[in-house]
Amino acid sequence: MAIRLQIQLSAILCLGACLTPVTAQSQDFYNFWGDGRAEVSSYRVVQPRYGEDRVGYGVMIYVTEDVRRSTLIKIESPTPEEERLYTLKLNNFLKFTTGVYDYSVMTSAFSVIDPLTQEQPFELLKLNLSSQEWCGHVFEEVRVEQDRLLGALNSYFESEGLQQWSFERPDDFESEDHLLIRIRELKGEFMASGSTRTLTMLPSLWQFRMRHKPRELVTATLTKGTAGRITVGDVAYTAIPWTWSYEAWEKTVWIDTAYPHRVLQWQTSDGGRGELLVSKRLPYWGLHDLADEYLRDELKIPR
């Protein structure tokens, strides 16, 4: 803990450069991610909704933080080390317009870095989704507790209302939302290139939101492709495609081979797609003054 704090204090004022690669594949996770900054990446997004493609934007924010073991809530007070879990959090933000009104959606995935019950690093602890549009808003939380997945939904819509659900967690379980942490392979290889794995998957909470389907676990296939060249905007990268599919749904995400293996672009079987605009490492929680708004311009995010 003291080492992490020292790293954070020494680097918190450094803002980082756009799309600066770290070429060492053996980059130490804690030295890189424990520096007091978050990775903030902006995306141009096309989101199908109501039978039409909507152009919007997305922001993915990856940051490390300690959560309390008993509550899975961020620690902001003096707490013994044994009560802490060091996590990598992804806040995945999406905004687009349908006709006269906006959609604003954020999904958060909390992943404990050193696993609790499995062999590989990164293990899902909790998911949250909040979705707001002009009709109303929805909040959903999924917690992983021992061998069960516990879900709670609070929805504006009568057909959904207040719900709670529970599933046993299979040995081959994975969350679609959590895959955006897994497939970055930030502490070593998750799967071998060219390999395929069958998983029991919880579809993304946003997929449930759009489809208005009951919560369920599905059988999914996950494939890690081989590295190849892609162009994002006017920049060429070497990237690995990861593809997963279940039922009639398929998604492919391209991951930069250079550390820290950023998400470069994605496409889905319904025509959705996203493309990286800008990526910076920032202590964004402290950049809340009017004088900091220029960073939105640098990130190509609308003000």
SS3 213: coil
Sequence length of the chain is 303
Residue 213 confidence (pLDDT)? 85
Q: Where are the domains of the chain?
A: 2-298
Q: Strand pairing of 235-246 and 273-282?
A: unpaired
pTM above threshold 0.85 = yes
Task: State the burial class of residue 94 (Cβ atoms within 10 Å of its Cβ: 0-12, 13-18, 19+).
Answer: buried
pLDDT digits (tens, 9 = 90+) for 103-115: 999 999 999 999 8
pLDDT digits (tens, 9 = 90+) for 60-100: 999 999 999 999 999 999 999 999 999 999 999 999 999 99
Identify whether the C-beta of residue 125 lies closer than 8 Å to the C-beta of residue 143: yes
**Which residues of the chain fall below pLDDT 70?**
1-27
Residue 158 confidence (pLDDT)? 86
